[in-house]
Structure 1
Amino acid sequence: MTRYPFGRPPGLRLRLSLLIGFLLFDGGVILLVLAWTFADLGTLTLLEGIGAIVVITLAGMLAGYLLTGRALRPIHQVTATARRLSEQTLDQRIGPQGSDDEVAELAGTFDAMLDRLAQSFDSQRRFVANASHELRTPLAVMRTEIDVTLADPDADAAELRRMAGVVRQASERANGLIEALLVLARSEGQRGRLARTASVDLADDVAAALAAMRYEMDRVQIEVDSDLRPAPVQGDPDLLSRLAGNLVENAVRYNHLHGRLWARTGVDGGQVFLEVGNSGFEVAQRDVPGLFEPFRRGGRERTGARGSGLGLSIVRAVCDAHGGTVAVTAHPAPDGGLTVAVRLPAG
């Protein structure tokens, strides 16, 4: 480990000034030696030359110190801004610099990084607030039902059974939300580096998801059109199963009476595709990107129980974890609805 006389290394400004002085001094000495050798200079001239070299070196070091200080001023601004930053002060920026050079590029890059951090913190705050709200609702329902029932001295077995049913439904909703949050966190945590992989056929996952939603689809008389050709991929079986399940569940939940649902799987150009579409309420194409945000529901659910609002967020996170893509297309009225197209590397 290098030890310095004053306990810390010299700053960049001082090192650049010393380098300038070193170059000027060496250059002056070389020129003086050459002139003294070939021009037969006298001793007095040699001493004057040495004095001039010393003066030029000191002047060069001083000028270099001043110029490098001016050149490094934006870097000091970057450092000062970084020291002041916290989650509450991410709105501070260095701003544009006068010249279009490397330092200005550094300042612009730093400001762009702060923009991304601010967006990330805002998204995280919204996510935590929404998750807290979603979890607080079923807990409040359970507490209210229990308190009201216990406060009623005439509550009979029927009332207790009704209360138990409401509490059970609320607890199932809370449990479903927690499971969805865990799946989302797990998917985002494995982006590009899956903990485990296996050979999975998305056609089988979609068929299983359709079978699981059969009762709900029959209840509201949804017409199903499926073309499930082999779609082999290498990935996490649980996450891929959740991806297919979320798409089918959304297509049923955000549908209407006597609606339609279609599902396609297969291989195209070295990629596996999965498309699930449904009829339903009209969604503007400009609102489609927001559907991938957690707890964003594209509209009113028509046929199913209220969901957690994490369906497409999980789909996108699973696609990212497997190196794939997902796109949503909104259907114009009168049919309405959406088509979600997933593409993953074939395996």
Structure 2
Amino acid sequence: MDRAPGLSVRLKLALSYAAFLMVGGGLLLAVVWVFLLRGTSVSIFVPAPSNLLRAFDPTNFGPIIFGPAAVAVMAFLLLFGLLGGWFLAGRMIAPLTHITDVTRMVAEGSLSRRIGLQGRQDEFRELADAFDAMLARIEAHVAEQQRFAANASHELRTPLAITQTLLDVARRDPNRDADALVERLHDVNARAIDLTEALLVLSRADQRAFTKARVDLSLIAEDATEALLLLAEKHGVAIETACEPAATIGSGTLLLQLATNLVHNAIVHNLPERGTVWVTTKVRPGHAMLVVENTGEELSSCSLSTLVEPFQRGTGRIHTGHSGVGLGLAIVKSITEAHGGTLVLEPRPSGGLRVVVELPGAAA
């Protein structure tokens, strides 16, 4: 933004200090005049140069030299105020200058720079600490977005490369079974569509571009469970539900996607046979909770933090023919945060995963 040139803050402060001293000096001289020299005969004249030094002699402070002394004192206060104010203003705004320099570096793309002001807490250090915290969040967000873009590009390129390979093989081999080729292309295309739709849902949740309404998590959980009963039977997984009304404010479509992803993950990442999934909704003071647990192999606490990263499917989890696109829990995390909630992943002592989604409750 183009701005008209103006005085620096340091000069403004110096002038302010000097003006304050001048006003204080004027008030002091007025007090001396009112209480000490009132009623006396005052002769104000400019003395000879040889008598100027007598103006600062306390024994000669009287009616004759009051005028020249006052002028000399005011001139001294003005000079002292300007010099002292310039020095003090420089000391005071030094942290602000450092903050400005770091801000310019950050504006040029150096997000790793930090202000890091030292010393006791004051307004400048509060500003610097808040700015450093903001930079840390921005740097982490940019790194996450770059990582996500790279992973998304890789995942989207895979089905396209497979499609290109199948078409090239079919072109070189006219006698190839067309039905098998079409079926394979259908599967690859379906995976690309699933991935694209998942990316759109994730973007929608991140941008919080949705209409909010009153939603009952118990109904959401029941709908998600019913939609996945056939998949659970196919994998030999039993689903147990214990849902009590738990109202929150948000998007019913996104929350249904959240519950569906959780139940789906609990089914496909379960024991090879006789697995179980528990779906529970409950209310806590001021909060509505959705809890999804599943049996499975033991998970380490270190691996849990990576499960909510995009395209991270987690090492050691069971893949039973449906690994998904690697965005299930990433979408759950984004939807939860978009609704002002918290997501907690905990390993079950006997194996498997426990996921707790806690959202702000809605008033009755």
Kept after mapping to 2: 8 A contact 1:87/1:121? no
User: Max radius of gyration: which structure?
Assistant: 2
Equivalence map 1:83-162=2 (5 Å): 83-86=104-107, 88-98=109-119, 100-152=121-173, 154-156=174-176, 158=177, 160-162=178-180
Structure 1 position 328, deviation (Å): 1.6
Kept after mapping to 1: 8 A contact 2:235/2:268? no
Aligned pairs, number: 334
1:327 maps to 2:344: yes
- In structure 2, the residue matched to 1:287 is 303
1:214 maps to 2:229: yes
1:337 maps to a residue whose letter is G
1:145 maps to a residue whose letter is L
Say which is worse superposed, 171-180 or 91-100, in terms of deviation: 91-100
Kept after mapping to 1: 8 A contact 2:241/2:280? yes
- In structure 1, the residue matched to 2:328 is 311
Kept after mapping to 2: 8 A contact 1:252/1:304? no
1:16 maps to a residue whose letter is L
Structure 1 position 106, deviation (Å): 2.8
Per-residue deviation, residues 114-139 of structure 1 (Å, max 9, x unmatched): 22221111111111111111111111
Kept after mapping to 2: 8 A contact 1:254/1:304? no
Displaced runs of 4+ in structure 1, greater than 6 A?
none
- In structure 1, the residue matched to 2:16 is 19
Kept after mapping to 2: 8 A contact 1:200/1:237? yes
Structure 1 position 285, deviation (Å): 1.9
- In structure 1, the residue matched to 2:261 is 246
In structure 2, the residue corresponding to 1:60 is in which secondary structure? helix
CA distance 1:67–1:285, shift in 2 (3 Å): same
Structure 1 position 65, deviation (Å): 0.7
1:227 maps to 2:248: no
Per-residue deviation, residues 271-298 of structure 1 (Å, max 9, x unmatched): 3322111112221123323322222222
In structure 1, the residue corresponding to 2:65 is in which secondary structure? helix
1:20 maps to a residue whose letter is Y
In structure 1, the residue corresponding to 2:283 is in which secondary structure? strand
Kept after mapping to 2: 8 A contact 1:262/1:277? yes
Structure 1 position 88, deviation (Å): 4.3
Kept after mapping to 1: 8 A contact 2:214/2:362? no
- In structure 2, the residue matched to 1:200 is 215
CA distance 1:56–1:326, shift in 2 (3 Å): same
Kept after mapping to 1: 8 A contact 2:19/2:81? no
Say which is worse superposed, 256-265 or 194-203, in terms of deviation: 194-203
Per-residue deviation, residues 219-264 of structure 1 (Å, max 9, x unmatched): 2211222223333333211111101101111101111222111111
In structure 2, distance between residues paired with 1:172 and 1:227? 34
Equivalence map 1:14-93=2 (5 Å): 14-40=11-37, 41-86=62-107, 88-93=109-114
CA distance 1:112–1:267, shift in 2 (3 Å): closer
CA distance 1:87–1:307, shift in 2 (3 Å): farther
Kept after mapping to 2: 8 A contact 1:252/1:303? no
Gaps of 5+ in 2: 38-61
1:8 maps to 2:2: no
- In structure 1, the residue matched to 2:354 is 339
- In structure 2, the residue matched to 1:168 is 186
Report the identity percentage.
38
Structure 1 position 310, deviation (Å): 1.7
CA distance 1:266–1:93, shift in 2 (3 Å): closer
2:181 maps to a residue whose letter is M
* Superposition CA RMSD, Å: 2.3
In structure 2, distance between residues paired with 1:163 and 1:43? 115
Gaps of 5+ in 1: none
Structure 1 position 303, deviation (Å): 2.1
Structure 1 position 101, deviation (Å): 3.6
In structure 2, distance between residues paired with 1:149 and 1:8? 71
In structure 2, the residue corresponding to 1:288 is in which secondary structure? helix
- In structure 1, the residue matched to 2:314 is 298
In structure 1, the residue corresponding to 2:311 is in which secondary structure? coil
- In structure 1, the residue matched to 2:282 is 266
Structure 1 position 87, deviation (Å): 7.0
